[in-house]
Structure 1
């Protein structure tokens, strides 16, 4: 079951009867509007991906070759990135590629399932209706801000949010009207309006509940929406809007600002570029050449390509500063071949998500840099301390792979001779060198973590044209549109999660948690023991960077007083947050892995828990043995 088989707009035709002439005419009109809107949005989004590549590559060339940096390149790239993300979210909505959980729907009857599919569209429509006016307000307010480099009104950037929300509203409405009977649509609308009205009327009763509202909205409402099949991003945003609107006096324009903030981090621009790089590697034949070589080396070993996935994520991790981007660079290369060799899709996405948590401490990780910047810890020390713990956690994952694949049938797989391996190595060499080209470009200062993917794109394109002689130009636009769609689905989740994190901070939750943890007895190990579950939970709802910014300055001094080395504590905290970030049902990273691999979140649920246990075992070893994090700091 793929993600596309469960589109957000509920493309089920359950109960649809014979249509009248007027109904068919209306359907044709909706179809024409849908096609026209789709063509316009997809063309614009594909063009933005190309423009982003050109801008960042021009910045690299100008700075490194001509020693004359383009002061406006990052600013323009950031402005266009928000437009790309919002247009991509529109495409993802039409295609049904926004992440959602549909496991419970399997147990429902046809009519109930069709009703919940309608609700999966009417709930996002309710959010869009509630947030649209504040979004326009926000864009209008931003017109007074002038960008420093381009010296243009910031409204040009901020206008992407209301524009995207309007287009999503139109897209969802068209999909709803085209795919469902009017009575079912009416029932879904009535139910959604009724739920919104009930919460609104309950507002005066909710305000005195104080901290209990965190459970009502960020546990109860998010959980109910997620398990009812509402897309994850909209579930997060609905809970945040409800909490702020009903229990605080915060203007709703603020939630739009936090959404903007979460979607505008320049480091996230690496996501679409690495997604495109991954598809380019596949298109040019580089992926096939590398897979053939790796299969010749480890194909006769049970679970061989799973070990390759763990090792490949270790190699490329940290290049982009984004785990999603790292997975995007690896997934299109390895996962299709692993599926052809009989691996279960659910196990693949589970392992991919687990490796995302495993490699969080590989430099130059943006989380490590953030910890160093907010706590004053030496970033060089953090970079040194992160390598060995990641190997320990990776070894724990390898144990799970060995156990799961120890009975794999390899009767049809022959062992290659050294001569055959050497023959396959030559065409695979350009593909194998790509991670080293990218990493060297970052380490040597040729490009930033955001820009480096453009070097990879140019490298892959040249290898396709000159070395592999394979570059089907007709595939470029679909690849660019696919890149935009996945980017929109992923970045919209990140934006919603950032808004939710901000909502949590306004409750005073962070200060209370720090005070409670400081009172825990047991010295260093007692403090580590309470820190692990605390940061697993924080990682699932706040992600790494917001959690570190909020709690790092509070908890790292307490850890030092308890006798925990600051680098050691950083490794424990990062792995704990990684487990939360990449574990369902709330971990945003897990849904990012599903989006990258195009595998339904439901399929990974029964496979991921073994890997989560392995991650915990690895984390406990790292926490219990400080030398793993600090042993090489003196060298």
Structure 2
């Protein structure tokens, strides 16, 4: 899993990290050329989205002359950003994967599974290329209302992006050092595809048993073997639709377009970029520095600082990877110098990642609002206290573990030092409040508000902290596009799968089962929490939310659970699964960012996971925590 890609800034031409590559320089040159061809426009699209949305805010709120075309243009560019970002992520091998099992295999098996993952991606994009072209061609007859241009200019992002991924996949297979790996993976993929086609008459008569075959066994096998989640979802959905239904394959492309085109999801790349920006400008360091002088002399003080810093930083960036990358390098050296064990550090970092999943502007909350129709403003308001409850639970365990810490060698900061660091940190601490104020007061929408944060952070870095490395700007923009493309391709593929599940009648069957659970609303919430812990560990949060959010939120309303309360429960439960080993990929991201071996944190994290579960139970039993301020 490459969740830590938000923390890594790389220049164009970054090499693929997958199966062993041979030294074919002419292929490398083509690959590098594609890197520049894709990464430069992807970075420019991120800048264009920031400019368009911020201009819309200024025009509407300051000049009182709304631009009727700003949202339409932003949506128009957004699909191109998503697809080019997905191409960048594919080229860098940064699409989200579950690699826990792959990493436990031997070098030969691991290389073969890496090649299988690449072949699976190649098969998916090859299968989808023609349906995507058909879909885009149909959009020629649709005209945008404000810009009055053909919607095909937007829709052709799908086949062009898929075509570029196909070209990159072919180059990667030609580069593979051991041709037997490539041949073996291709034979395996074609044999499975041929077998399914041969069984078409049998599959057509199985009815809803096909759901088990394609969406449980099929997706499970692909995900556990290391195939990127987006391609696992896409392959299973394409096979299900074409082999077991009368729907044309173009429907899959249409559902992908629908899932990736919600304007509210534009907040994803913008908040990812904002997270990278606050780290680059030194704002995150200023906040952490203030907390460290305030609590550094207390037993376990820097651990409290880690919990608090993650809470504050999460209120700005929305990206867990960006949060961890901003906080860990600042705190960990001093914590190690005070005798903290590496395993406990990475365990607490991972636990705070789960704790802060509901802190606005959480990307997962934005996704919830996009797929369920729940108000983003209500979700942002409701997410503050649940995260605080889990923070208190973690701090309680920190107090217990470090109640005997020797601090005789630690100097307590003076009032003057605390005041000085506070003054330095004020602009950084103010940013979450600026972002929230802009949304609540109607200055900007949940999508647009990220641009206000970006402009604020850039000005603070240039004028106040005097820390703005222009050389890092382009790599940050490319990283933003890559991570966003990986996330949005998952959302697109998961939207297609959710459509297939709904059309099959599965949603009605699920509703009947969930409504009949014993224990009423509490029983429903407890079962949902357990389900999303499991889903979070295997599928990650965003695909789990996109798949099951539209199915379960209406059921929650039917059994009397407030939709915001339900969102907090499932998002926190998903976060626990995401950051809990052995399958939780967020845990391995925390290890990668902190450069600590995963084995060292396995035992210490058990206590933190139990603390998180205790906090989650409190949130379940006390709905006011989630909805008291709505």
Q: TM-score, normalised by structure 1?
A: 0.83
Q: How much has 1:410 moved relative to structure 2?
A: 6.8
Cross-structure match for 1:354: 354
**Distance change in 2, residues 1:43/1:177 (3 Å):** same
Cross-structure match for 2:135: 138
What is the alpha-carbon distance in structure 2 between the residues aligned to residue 363 and residue 235 of structure 1? 22
Cross-structure match for 1:19: none
What is the alpha-carbon distance in structure 2 between the residues aligned to residue 300 and residue 530 of structure 1? 42
Task: Identify the match of residue 182 of structure 2 among 172, 180, 185.
Answer: 185
Q: State whether residues 370 and 548 of structure 1, in contact with CA within 8 Å, keep that contact through their aligned partners in structure 2.
A: no
Alignment of 1:290-329 (within 5 A): 290-301=287-298, 304=301, 307-308=304-305, 310-311=307-308, 314=311, 325-327=318-320
Q: Does 1:333 align with 2:326?
A: yes
Q: How much has 1:590 moved relative to structure 2?
A: 6.6
Q: State whether residues 393 and 614 of structure 1, in contact with CA within 8 Å, keep that contact through their aligned partners in structure 2.
A: yes
Task: Identify the match of residue 389 of structure 2 among 389, 392, 417.
Answer: 392
Alignment of 1:65-84 (within 5 A): 65-84=62-81
Alignment of 1:435-584 (within 5 A): 435-530=432-527, 532-533=529-530, 543-544=544-545, 547-557=548-558, 559-560=559-560, 566-567=561-562, 570-572=564-566, 574-580=568-574, 583-584=577-578
**Distance change in 2, residues 1:556/1:80 (3 Å):** same
What is the alpha-carbon distance in structure 2 between the residues aligned to residue 139 and residue 372 of structure 1? 26
Q: What does the per-residue CA deviation read over 1:344-364, in whole Å, with 9 as the maximum and x for residues that have no partner?
A: 585366325412445489999
Alignment of 1:105-120 (within 5 A): 105-120=102-117
Task: Identify the match of residue 61 of structure 2 among 45, 59, 64.
Answer: 64
What is the alpha-carbon distance in structure 1 between the residues aligned to residue 148 and residue 75 of structure 2? 14
Of 51-60 and 189-198, deviating more is: 189-198
Q: What does the per-residue CA deviation read over 1:54-83, in whole Å, with 9 as the maximum and x for residues that have no partner?
A: 111100110111001111111111111111
Of 52-61 and 489-498, deviating more is: 489-498
SS at match of 1:209: coil
Cross-structure match for 1:95: 92
Q: Does 1:215 align with 2:212?
A: yes
Q: State whether residues 514 and 555 of structure 1, in contact with CA within 8 Å, keep that contact through their aligned partners in structure 2.
A: no
SS at match of 2:443: coil
Q: State whether residues 272 and 480 of structure 2, in contact with CA within 8 Å, keep that contact through their aligned partners in structure 1.
A: yes
Q: What does the per-residue CA deviation read over 1:568-601, in whole Å, with 9 as the maximum and x for residues that have no partner?
A: x7514541354236624999x9768977996599
Task: Identify the match of residue 171 of structure 1 among 160, 168, 171.
Answer: 168
Task: Identify the match of residue 422 of structure 1 among 419, 435, 449.
Answer: 419
Q: How much has 1:195 moved relative to structure 2?
A: 1.8
SS at match of 1:448: coil
SS at match of 1:446: coil
Query: What is the aligned-residue RMSD (CA, Å)?
Result: 3.9
Q: State whether residues 442 and 452 of structure 1, in contact with CA within 8 Å, keep that contact through their aligned partners in structure 2.
A: yes
Q: State whether residues 274 and 325 of structure 1, in contact with CA within 8 Å, keep that contact through their aligned partners in structure 2.
A: yes
SS at match of 1:246: helix
Q: How much has 1:621 moved relative to structure 2?
A: 2.7
What is the alpha-carbon distance in structure 1 between the residues aligned to residue 155 and residue 103 of structure 2? 40
Cross-structure match for 2:193: 196
Task: Identify the match of residue 44 of structure 1 among 31, 41, 45.
Answer: 41
Q: How much has 1:168 moved relative to structure 2?
A: 0.9
Q: How much has 1:40 moved relative to structure 2?
A: 1.4
**Distance change in 2, residues 1:107/1:465 (3 Å):** closer
**Distance change in 2, residues 1:247/1:369 (3 Å):** closer
Q: What does the per-residue CA deviation read over 1:117-146, in whole Å, with 9 as the maximum and x for residues that have no partner?
A: 211211111111111111111111111111
SS at match of 1:48: helix
Q: What does the per-residue CA deviation read over 1:172-218, in whole Å, with 9 as the maximum and x for residues that have no partner?
A: 22122224232322222112111221222233333333333222222
Alignment of 1:246-285 (within 5 A): 246-285=243-282
**Distance change in 2, residues 1:397/1:145 (3 Å):** farther
Structure 2: gaps of 5 or more residues: 9-13, 337-341
What is the alpha-carbon distance in structure 1 between the residues aligned to residue 115 and residue 362 of structure 2? 43
Q: Does 1:205 align with 2:192?
A: no
Q: How much has 1:393 moved relative to structure 2?
A: 3.6
What is the alpha-carbon distance in structure 1 between the residues aligned to residue 300 and residue 532 of structure 2? 32
Q: State whether residues 287 and 431 of structure 1, in contact with CA within 8 Å, keep that contact through their aligned partners in structure 2.
A: yes
Q: How much has 1:372 moved relative to structure 2?
A: 9.5
Q: TM-score, normalised by structure 2?
A: 0.84
Q: How much has 1:329 moved relative to structure 2?
A: 6.1
Cross-structure match for 2:11: none
Q: How much has 1:398 moved relative to structure 2?
A: 3.5
Of 219-228 and 102-111, deviating more is: 102-111
Of 130-139 and 481-490, deviating more is: 481-490
What is the alpha-carbon distance in structure 1 between the residues aligned to residue 141 and residue 507 of structure 2? 33
What is the alpha-carbon distance in structure 2 between the residues aligned to residue 443 and residue 315 of structure 1? 19
Q: What does the per-residue CA deviation read over 1:310-362, in whole Å, with 9 as the maximum and x for residues that have no partner?
A: 4456557687xxxx835366344313324444555853663254124454899
What is the alpha-carbon distance in structure 2 between the residues aligned to residue 84 and residue 409 of structure 1? 52
What is the alpha-carbon distance in structure 2 between the residues aligned to residue 91 and residue 361 of structure 1? 25
Task: Identify the match of residue 432 of structure 1 among 406, 429, 434.
Answer: 429
Q: State whether residues 532 and 572 of structure 1, in contact with CA within 8 Å, keep that contact through their aligned partners in structure 2.
A: no
What is the alpha-carbon distance in structure 1 between the residues aligned to residue 510 and residue 499 of structure 2? 16
Q: State whether residues 576 and 612 of structure 2, in contact with CA within 8 Å, keep that contact through their aligned partners in structure 1.
A: no
**Distance change in 2, residues 1:629/1:128 (3 Å):** closer
Q: State whether residues 357 and 582 of structure 1, in contact with CA within 8 Å, keep that contact through their aligned partners in structure 2.
A: no
Structure 1: gaps of 5 or more residues: 17-23, 561-565
Cross-structure match for 2:18: 11
**Distance change in 2, residues 1:208/1:70 (3 Å):** same
**Distance change in 2, residues 1:367/1:406 (3 Å):** farther
What is the alpha-carbon distance in structure 2 between the residues aligned to residue 586 and residue 247 of structure 1? 36
Q: How much has 1:508 moved relative to structure 2?
A: 1.0
Q: State whether residues 543 and 581 of structure 1, in contact with CA within 8 Å, keep that contact through their aligned partners in structure 2.
A: no
